Amino acid sequence: MQFYKWTAFSYTPWVILPVVLGVVSTMLMYDEHQNDMLKQLWIIPVSRAGYFFSKFTIVLFYSICFMLLTAAASVFFGTLPGYITVEWGSIVYLLRKCVEIAILTAFSVLPLLTVAASGKSYIFPVCVTLVYTFLGFILLMVNMYLHPLSSMTAIVMRDIPGVVLTQKLNIPAAFICIAIWCTGSALFAVSSLGKRK
Amino acid sequence: MSKYVIETKQLTKNYGEQTAVNAVNIHVEKGRIYGLLGRNGAGKTTIMKMILGLTPVTSGEVDVFGQNIKGREKRVYPRIGAIIETPGFYPNLTGTENLEIFAKLRGTAAPNAVKNALGIVGLPYRDKKLFSKYSLGMKQRLGIANAILHDPELLILDEPTNGLDPIGIAEVRGFIKALSTERGKTILISSHILSEIALLADDIGIIDHGVLLEENSMEVLEEKNSKYILLQVSDIPKTSLVLERQFGVTDYSVQDDHFLRIYNTSLDMAAVNKALVVQDVAVISSQLCNDTLEDYFKKITGGEGIA
Ligand SMILES: Nc1ncnc2c1ncn2[C@@H]1O[C@H](COP(=O)(O)OP(=O)(O)OP(=O)(O)O)[C@@H](O)[C@H]1O
Ligand SMILES: [Mg+2]
């Protein structure tokens, strides 16, 4: 159990996954922007919201795949040297937790997709990704319910055994925080895609 | 229902301080080819973008298929095919794959639409070449193929022959003409090349610095593209008599009290002069004039360099 925690729950969800997803978001938005394809898409017509959410679906899918691979890898490398015996219960728990993290993180990085959607540049969204992830980390200590990533942490932490928390968890507040950020950024993204010159 | 497929009313676009399009009224009739002619930066692309709702209109109105386009874009777009400036595609896919994506997004295209469209523009079907490896002319052709993929009634083509070689231009001109005459499509096409528009369009709109200077059918404009002898005489009625009685000339026009245009340029002017002198008419001057469309456009755009 301790081992899984170390592998799957250590840096992967809080740092690596958001950064990876931020970069994926940027890349997803890059092609159409860079090749000036949007004007052709809008007159098909493709709806702005449909376009944005199809991109988000890919991010979500990618996130789940990434976390499942992480889970598989930690089980594999855990059993290989015979450190631990495989217990079904813990594997199922691990998978469930990984999928949970994957979905929540995908939603938490929706603002990054918005940033990528509203500009042509490539460097800017990547920088924002780093700052955003870092801020999530810092705000974790201050107030968990300001930043989607720290809210996500709060939700995930609620039932990991052996984690001692300094703050009392407020799960609804965390969900509300994520929901507000997601709605806000989705609206902003759709409107900024709409008023393209 | 108005008889126009596209009609703009006092269409205006400001980019900050600059007025890119200024109170433009264009009228595109069904089944005809309308050529929008103007120099670089005249505002052709901006007009087309506004017609398509790709850029907000500052003031004025765009009617497409007889109704204001505002709010009806979703229903109108499937009836329009367009290329605006250089068309963009996924660079890491082949032309066929790119078109298949667009066909899928459109949903309405016929099963062999991609093959047909590529056939029309003269690109190979199921070629292995990636879009990023296409030449400029091939890219442009793929853009046209994408515009005609779903067999739209109205085509809006912004400089479709940009980057094509002369033979390519002739080919594209050929199939654009065919689309209009054989399939009854309405086409709005822009260009900064006069000769190209002159060969293709039924109607022409000339735009300069965002202002529509003239809108006319090709026939009317062609009249301004004529050769004639300009005769300055002291007495017009007597001259008319001489021309009609002695030389059988009827295709001439009287410009004012002293000027007269004779469109038959093979007339023996020496004999005419002699006959006029006999009739006591003073011939002040006589010259062969050759107004080309080009001169005309230069005149109305007030400068050099169109054509
Ligand atoms: N997005 C924009 N922001 C600011 N100004 C713009 C923008 N797009 C066009 N303009 C200006 O509007 C004017 C008209 O541009 P437009 O692209 O419509 O010209 P055009 O007739 O298509 O020229 P070309 O033959 O070069 O394609 C130009 O002066 C241009 O600088
Ligand atoms: Mg242009």
| Tens digit of each residue's pLDDT (9 = 90 or more) over B180-191 | 999 899 999 999
Locate the chain B residue with the closest alpha carbon to A46: B105
> Which long-range contacts (C-beta less than 8 Å, at least 24 apart) are formed by A91-95?
A94/A4, A94/A8, A95/A68, A95/A71
d(CA B35, CA B190): 6
| Tens digit of each residue's pLDDT (9 = 90 or more) over B18-67 | 999 999 999 999 999 999 998 888 999 999 999 998 888 999 999 999 88
Whether the per-residue pLDDT at A102 is higher than 70: the answer is yes
The pLDDT assigned to A87 comes to 74
The pLDDT assigned to A141 comes to 78
- Give the one of A32, A39, A45 whose C-beta lies nearest to B74's C-beta: A45
Q: In residues, how long is chain B? A: 307
Work out which ligand 1 atom sits closest to the CA atom of B55: 1
pLDDT band at B156; cut points 50, 70, 90:
very high
Task: Please state whether beta strands B27-29 and B4-15 pair in parallel, antiparallel, or not at all (unpaired).
Answer: antiparallel
Work out which ligand 1 atom sits closest to the CA atom of B42: 21
Enumerate residues with CB within 5 Å of ligand 2 (an ion). Answer: B 45
| Tens digit of each residue's pLDDT (9 = 90 or more) over A69-88 | 988 887 777 777 666 666 77
Q: What angle do CA B49, B155, B39 make, to 5 degrees?
A: 55
Percentage of chain B beyond pLDDT 70 is: 96
d(CA B21, CA B36): 13
Whether the per-residue pLDDT at A182 is higher than 80: the answer is yes
A vs B, Cβ pairs < 8 A, gives 43
> Average pLDDT of A14-41?
88
Per-domain residue ranges for chain B?
A: 4-222, 226-290
Minimal CA separation from B257 to chain A, in Å = 55
Q: Do A44 and B105 touch (CB under 8 A)?
A: yes
Measured between alpha carbons, how far apart are the two ends of chain A, in Å? Answer: 54
Mean pLDDT (chain A, rounded):
83
Q: Do B90 and A37 touch (CB under 8 A)?
A: yes
**Higher-pLDDT residue of B220, B44:** B44
Q: Which of A18-22, A92-96, B119-123, B143-147 has the lowest mean pLDDT?
A: A92-96
Total count of domains within chain A = 1
The pLDDT assigned to A75 comes to 78
| Tens digit of each residue's pLDDT (9 = 90 or more) over B91-101 | 999 999 999 99
Beta-carbon contacts of residue B237 (< 8 Å; ≥ 6 apart): none
ipTM score of complex: 0.81
The pLDDT assigned to A164 comes to 62
**Helix/strand/coil (H/E/C) assignment for every residue in B212-255:** EEEEEEHHHHHHCCCEEEEEEECCHHHHHHHHHHHHCCCCEEEC
Locate the chain B residue with the closest alpha carbon to A37: B88
pLDDT band at B303; cut points 50, 70, 90:
low
Cα–ligand 1 centroid distance for B20 (angstroms): 7
Minimal CA separation from A44 to chain B, in Å = 6
**Higher-pLDDT residue of B110, B44:** B44
Contacts of A35 in chain B (CB under 8 A): 88-91
The pLDDT assigned to B307 comes to 43
Fold of B4-222: Rossmann fold (3.40.50)
Name the CATH architecture for the domain at B226-290. 2-Layer Sandwich (3.30)
Cα–ligand 2 centroid distance for B192 (angstroms): 9
* B272 in contact with A, Cβ within 8 Å: no
Q: Do A43 and B86 touch (CB under 8 A)?
A: no
**Higher-pLDDT residue of B294, B147:** B147
Strands (E), B39-153: 59-64, 67-68, 80-83
Q: Which of B16, B102, B182, B290 is closest to A43 using CA atoms?
A: B102
Work out which ligand 1 atom sits closest to the CA atom of B43: 18
Whether the per-residue pLDDT at B237 is higher than 80: the answer is yes
Ligand nearest to the CA of B43: 1
* B100 in contact with A, Cβ within 8 Å: no
Work out which ligand 1 atom sits closest to the CA atom of B192: 25
Beta-carbon contacts of residue B16 (< 8 Å; ≥ 6 apart): none
> Average pLDDT of A129-133?
92
Whether the per-residue pLDDT at B200 is higher than 60: the answer is yes
Beta-carbon contacts of residue B32 (< 8 Å; ≥ 6 apart): B180, B186, B187, B202, B203
Q: Do B88 and A35 touch (CB under 8 A)?
A: yes
Measured between alpha carbons, how far apart are the two ends of chain B, in Å? Answer: 36
Ligand 1, CB cutoff 6 Å, lining residues: A 197; B 15, 20, 38, 40-46, 192
pLDDT band at B306; cut points 50, 70, 90:
very low
The pLDDT assigned to B155 comes to 94
> Average pLDDT of A145-149?
88
Whether the per-residue pLDDT at A170 is higher than 50: the answer is yes
Burial of A87 (0-12, 13-18, 19+ CB in 10 A): exposed
Residues of A with CB under 8 A from a CB of B: 31-32, 35-37, 39-47, 195-197
User: In this structure, which residue's CA is closest to atom 24 in ligand 1?
Assistant: B40
> Average pLDDT of B200-228?
85
Q: Which of B48, B46, B42 is closest to B194 using CA atoms?
A: B42
Whether the per-residue pLDDT at B72 is higher than 90: the answer is no
Range of the domain at A101: 2-194
Locate the chain A residue with the closest alpha carbon to B108: A44
